[in-house]
């Protein structure tokens, strides 16, 4: 008996299914991948970042989205849901539904045990194909550590790991104070 093959679906079929689904899924190369729920620290960090960036950007032509704004990497075909995404200037969407962003400037992922390898590796490979993307930020949820990849001639890594420090985000002229990012977060 041969193993059953997963059905190959088109990006249009994915969007049709996804827009009606109760739970989010990412899409790549004809397959959908269900997303797991997040734990307390993850949710607190995303909320803290979203609130801090919204406050810094509210009088500027930038928009901050968390969790539910799908991003498409046009050149690779990946559809994904970053934890936080920022677009400055006119947002570009895949279609009139305006739920799939094409031109993020900044993407932030909060690392979990199950996603860290993917977020650092394959997912970042995809993200580097987004022409508008200038910064990619990885935030640990089990210790105080923020890593930022800044697109200069090459992608350059910067790190902060002290609650007294801040991570500058030149792409949007903001900063993340680690004490605010980790507010109410309890490390195990």
39-181: CATH topology is: tt1808, chain A (3.90.1570)
CA–CA gap between residue 114 and residue 173 (Å, rounded): 31
Beta carbons of 119 and 126 less than 8 angstroms apart: no
pLDDT at 1: 54
For residue 114, what pLDDT band results from cuts at 50, 70 and 90? Answer: confident
- Locate 152 and state its tokens: 């200069």
Please compute, for residue 131, the number of CA atoms within 13 A of its CA located in the half-sphere on the CB side: 4
Q: What is the pLDDT of residues 147-181, one digit of tens each?
A: 999 999 999 999 999 999 999 999 999 999 999 99
Locate the domains of the chain by residue range.
Answer: 39-181
Q: What is the pLDDT of residues 45-101, one digit of tens each?
A: 999 999 999 999 999 999 999 989 999 999 999 999 999 999 999 999 999 999 999
Q: What is the pLDDT of residues 10-54, one digit of tens each?
A: 999 999 999 999 999 999 999 999 998 889 999 999 999 999 999
């Amino acid at each position: 008996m041969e193993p059953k093959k997963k059905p190959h679906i088109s990006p249009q079929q994915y969007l049709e299914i996804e827009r009606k689904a109760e739970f989010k899924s990412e899409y790549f190369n004809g397959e959908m991948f269900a997303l797991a729920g997040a734990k307390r620290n993850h949710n607190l960090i995303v909320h803290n970042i979203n609130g801090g960036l919204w406050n810094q950007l509210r009088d500027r032509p930038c928009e901050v989205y968390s969790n539910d704004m799908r991003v498409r990497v046009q050149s690779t075909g990946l559809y994904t849901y970053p934890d936080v995404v920022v677009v400055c200037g006119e947002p570009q969407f895949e279609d009139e539904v305006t739920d799939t962003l094409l031109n993020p400037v900044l993407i932030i992922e909060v690392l979990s045990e199950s996603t860290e390898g993917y977020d650092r590796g394959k997912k970042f490979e995809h993200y580097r194909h987004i022409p508008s993307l200038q910064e990619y930020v990885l935030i640990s949820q089990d210790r105080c550590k923020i890593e930022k990849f800044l697109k200069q001639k090459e992608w350059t890594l910067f790190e902060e790991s002290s609650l007294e420090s801040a991570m500058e985000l030149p792409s949007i002229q903001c900063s993340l104070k680690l004490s605010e990012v980790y507010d109410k977060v309890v490390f195990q």
